[in-house]
Chain A
Amino acid sequence: MNWRKAVALIVAFLILVTLHYTIRPLLGWRASIDFLVIAVLLLSVRMRPGAAALLGFLTGLVSDSLTPATLGAGALAMSVVGFAASWLRAVIFADNVVLHAFFFFIGKWAFDLIYLVVARGAPPLELLAQAGVWSPLSAALTAAAGVFVMLAYRMTLDPQHA
């Protein structure tokens, strides 16, 4: 990875983090788009698994700091998702929009499931509804946004892949 690509990725990452803390609260949907997952996945596939896990850990920690009751849960989930994404990079390198969408969907859902299991805050029934209904919905929205972000990234910041 040359330095221009690295800068482009960092810019994209920062934009996504900003979107996560502006668009998400503004929309206020229950099944919301997780821009942090998109950001981590976008970078993870271009990093070594260890670095991706570290990036996921730090990003999750930032997210957790706003919900101290579940501190660590997001970091753990994001570390695993980042590591797995980097490890499965061969899948994402296939230039297939559906595969990309599936990748974002699985990434977000996996994040939510790990988070819910580790956080253990909600009653079982609510946990089940969250994992079975709201998380997949949120994952679907995240997948749609992720594909859009991926295409936008390739067209603007990484035109060689467009």
Chain B
Amino acid sequence: MARAVRASSRADTVVLIACVFASVMLTILPSGARDQVASVLRETVVQPVLALQRTAERGRNAILEREGLARRLDSLTLASARLSELELENQRLRRMIGLGEGLRTGFVVAEVVHTQSLGDEHTVTLTAGRDKGITQRSIVVAPDGVVGMVTTVDATSSLAILWTHPDFRVSAQSAGSNVLGIVRPHTGGEGERYLLELTGVAFRDSLNPGTLIVSSGLGGRYPAGIPVGTVIGEIKTSESWARTYVVRPAVKPQDVTTVMVVQPERLGNGVANIWPKPVDTAGRVVRDSAAKADSASRAAAVAKADSLVRARLRSGDTPKTSIIPRKPPL
């Protein structure tokens, strides 16, 4: 029994010595041979272990990089927000170039400097003046339509009133049906300040929501065919002999950054073909969609017209006016 234990103990010692010897041999191997042995092990029995370690290290790196990635994502989001602004600007400039190609001659491109002073929000400064050939009462347009009119001309700059100015007037007509009227700023509450009114429409004539309103050319200041806005709905006024419509302007003053000042001599040649035809614009969209729609979609189309104005009329705080939404044409 004791012999067996001794023999077993000796065998254990032999195994240990063998293991130690093999280990020492591995440590004193030349580096090339060591790499080979390690490589063989890595490619065979250690491969699953290596894969595990790789996955774990990737996980650790992902955790460590998470904060950095969040920071980078924030920066990218900010950059993409700026990018969308640049895209809009680019789009505006492209359209401006398109308008320039349409007009060909007799216009001056100017940048708009919005005045920030209180009570003077209806006037803008243009970065072109007498030196560029701008004269008083020249019309100011943008690719979307009428912007306003030059009132004061200096040597290198000029002042222009926007269509929101209380003195702004333009003789207008509905595109296609030739219903005539005068467009002026809508004198509603705060929310309706940036709308227009088409006044003096003959009682026998009626306009549907979505109808495009363009300048008529009457009066000689604004040539025919420049988009002014689209009809939102009729409002009731004390003038029982004529109809008045609220019009959504074609140009939003706050979006105007670059404009074209059309010189008076250019107006004689007409500008009717420069802006898109009414069939290509919002009117057609409204008509087409309304034609396909049932009564529910008609109601939705009308509801789109102007929620602000209708909300105000519903509340009844101005008994003078009320919009009667009309059924879109079929």
Contacts and interface: CB of A to CB of B under 8 A. Distances in A.
Contacts of A27: 60
A118 interface: yes
A119 B34 CA distance: 13
B46 A76 contact: no
A146 B122 CA distance: 80
Nearest to A51: B15
A71 B41 CA distance: 11
Interface of B: 8-9, 11-16, 19-20, 22-29, 31, 34-35, 37-39, 41-42, 45-46, 49-50, 52-53, 55-57, 59-60, 63
Contact of A57 (B11, B19, B59, B63): B19
Contacts of A118: 23, 27
Nearest to A48: B12
Given A53-B15, A83-B19, 18 more contacts: A17-B49, A18-B52, A21-B49, A22-B53, A50-B14, A53-B19, A54-B19, A65-B42, A66-B38, A66-B53, A69-B31, A72-B29, A75-B23, A79-B16, A79-B19, A79-B20, A80-B16, A83-B12
A65 B38 contact: yes
A25 B37 CA distance: 24
B172 to A, nearest CB: 72
A49 interface: yes
| Max count, chain B CB within 10 A of own CB: residue among A23, A27, A57 | A57
A62 B45 CA distance: 8
A33 interface: no
A28 interface: yes
A56 interface: yes
A64 interface: yes
Interface residues of A, number: 38
Contact residues of B: prevailing secondary structure? helix
A26 B35 contact: no
Contacts of A50: 11-16
A65 B41 contact: yes
Contacts of B14: 50
Contacts of B57: 25-26
B46 A65 contact: yes
Interface in A70-97: 70-73, 75-76, 79-80, 83, 86
A107 interface: no
A48 B8 contact: yes
Highest count of chain A CB atoms <10 Å: which of B11, B23, B26, B41? B23
B148 to A, nearest CB: 66
Nearest to A84: B16
Contacts of B8: 48
A68 B53 contact: no
Given A21-B56, A22-B55, A62 B41 contact: yes
